[in-house]
A and B are shown apart, each in its own frame.
Chain A
Amino acid sequence: MPNRNVSNLNDSKALVRGCIKGDRLMQSLLYHRYAPQMKGVCMRYARNSFEAEEILQEGFIQVFECLSQYRFQSPLQYWIRKIMINCALQKLRLKTILYPVFDCEEWSTECIKADTVTSGLHTKELIAMVQSLPLMCRLVFNLYVFEGMKHREIGTLLDISEGTSKSHLFDARKMLQQQLKAADAMVRVNA
């Protein structure tokens, strides 16, 4: 990261204006300020770290190209995050055909009590669990839990019905419970 000391960089307006003018240093500062947070967002949507890096790269290119449309009506962080999510959705939706249709029946329908899940799990393990979800389940789970969207909105965004969205969320939760249970068992064995 560039180590130029710019006192007014807290002012996102100056940062945005610099980026719009094409100042490479400002663009670098903006990237390095928000990239770690956005990588965290991308990790939840992607299947792995490489895919997350791809989304991050395309997302930031889109940010720099569309920054002139930013109206300072919401914090810059949220604006960038929205672009990242849109970019992820678009990229992943185009790859839909590459993923096999997931059969929910292969997952156990046994209800796992979440109370039994230990709190000793690392963040990376939780991310790995989300990443292991089938594409549509992963997208619906992210949009519902992290973005706070309603099923109707998710359905419109992903071009699925409201019922399908609910179904995907149900499946996602069920799979996550299954994985939490397995992880918990592993911890107990190790203990």
Chain B
Amino acid sequence: MNHIDHHIDDLFRDNLESHEEAPNPSTWRSIENYLNEKDARQYRRKYQILANSTRRALMVLALLLIVSITKWNWESHTISRNVPNANSNRLEPNNNSRGLFLGVGSSEKITSPDEEMARSGIDHSNSLSGMAIPEDQDAFRFSQQKIENLDEPGTHGTNFTDNSILVSGKPIQIESWRLAFLMERDQVPHPQGMTKVSSNGHRFTLIPYFTFDHNTGRFEEVYEFHDQNKNELLERENPDISTTVGLHAEFRLNRRISFESGFSISNSYTSIAPTVIKAYQDSYGTYKFKLATSYGVAELKKTGITNPQYGDSIILNDAEQHLQYFSIPALVKYHLIPGRFNLSLSAGVAFNKIVNDKMEVNYSAGGNKEKETIEKIEGLNESFLSVNSGAEFTYDIGKRISVGINPGLRISITPVNSGTPVRTYPVSWGLGTLVKIRL
């Protein structure tokens, strides 16, 4: 470099290096407008997710309510037709005494206690007459008084012979549905070879439910995605409200233990904070714009830059990652507090199949704003296994229907992705509502 070149360089450097110039006031207004629009867009999206989830939950609940009301009305109508001339000198079934009741080893429809007694033809002088089906509160209290006359189970040889029990040392026969009722409340011992049924006499229960989930995970760094390590990827991810809707079936083995399975669909959303996406060379030597997340890598193809080169970059304004997976759990449930208020704990494993994965990306490339939906996130596995656990607190609002809440936790035991910069084991906890319909 000669003296003249030096002089030219120095002349411009000295005069322009620290040159400052007042920007046009409209520039800040434009930037501010952009930032306001961006904030509004983010709020709108979060509100939209919440609104959609709530709408779906309300639809499910409304559907269940309609089904329940329809079923109750139908059963009520059936009973009132079956007992047109019920004797009223004792407790009679009324509209509150409705529904099917499973007796020990048999299933029979209760129409009236008096009809039942008349049919049985046994000596009722010392029997538990007057007991109505348990749902009738008056009848229940009445039966409780009578039950006090019973011998303590097992104290002096209380025994079953067909449908008879020992009262004050004397065997008496009672109706099967009453016997089942007493058995359910542990007022009498259970005969050998007979399996006790659930608190309401139903073995199978359908459980539709809906939960709002919060997703996080256990992350292991496999390799750095160019100059981005695990922490940098995770810092720009922000889990949004996610949802799960499902239908489980519960099979009650005994009063305390039941087995539960079914299916559910989970929708998991994650927001990606703004960042700069540089063009990186792949193994074929082609430069591509790729966004790495904790779930995988998404390639942006509609940048308008037909042949990206080293140093090219685009600005990611915002992005949202959506993962939808189908789960089949196998759970064992322990009923800690059985009864009208039921508290149960469950644990088990679930097979999760990813059915949909996509990413919606808004970015700026060369001054142009682009929106792209990437239908496939590279590196995601097709399925993963998780350990599920949860609690269930329900309240019986009828003989067949219970409602409640179900906090739950799902911890993946196999990664959701492979060959990605970060190996991710999703963890989600949720809280939602459920309805239990006993069959």
Contact = CB atoms under 8 A, between A and B. Distances in A.
A119 to B, nearest CB: 8
Contact of B24 (A43, A53, A66, A123): A53
Given A22-B39, A24-B32, A117-B11, A130 B4 contact: no
Chain A, interface SS category: helix
B27 interface: yes
A37 B18 CA distance: 7
B32 A56 contact: no
A76 interface: no
A69 B315 CA distance: 13
Chain B, interface SS category: mixed
B20 A40 contact: yes
Given A35-B28, A159-B310, A173-B5, A127 B35 contact: no
Given A68-B273, A145-B13, A90 B20 contact: no
Which range contains the number of A residues in contact with the other chain?
A: 35 or more
A66 B276 contact: yes
Contacts of A157: 310-311
Contacts of B70: none
Contacts, number: 131
Contact of A69 (B11, B16, B35, B275): B275
A68 B236 contact: yes
Nearest to B274: A65
Given A53-B27, A54-B367, A145-B9, A39 B236 contact: no
Contacts of A54: 367
A156 interface: yes
Interface in B179-218: none
Interface of A: 22, 24, 27-28, 31-32, 35-37, 39-40, 43-44, 53-54, 56-58, 60-62, 64-66, 68-69, 86, 89-91, 94, 111-115, 117, 121, 123, 126-127, 130, 141, 144-146, 156-159, 173, 176-177, 180
7 contacts: A31-B31, A32-B28, A36-B23, A44-B16, A65-B317, A66-B276, A117-B7
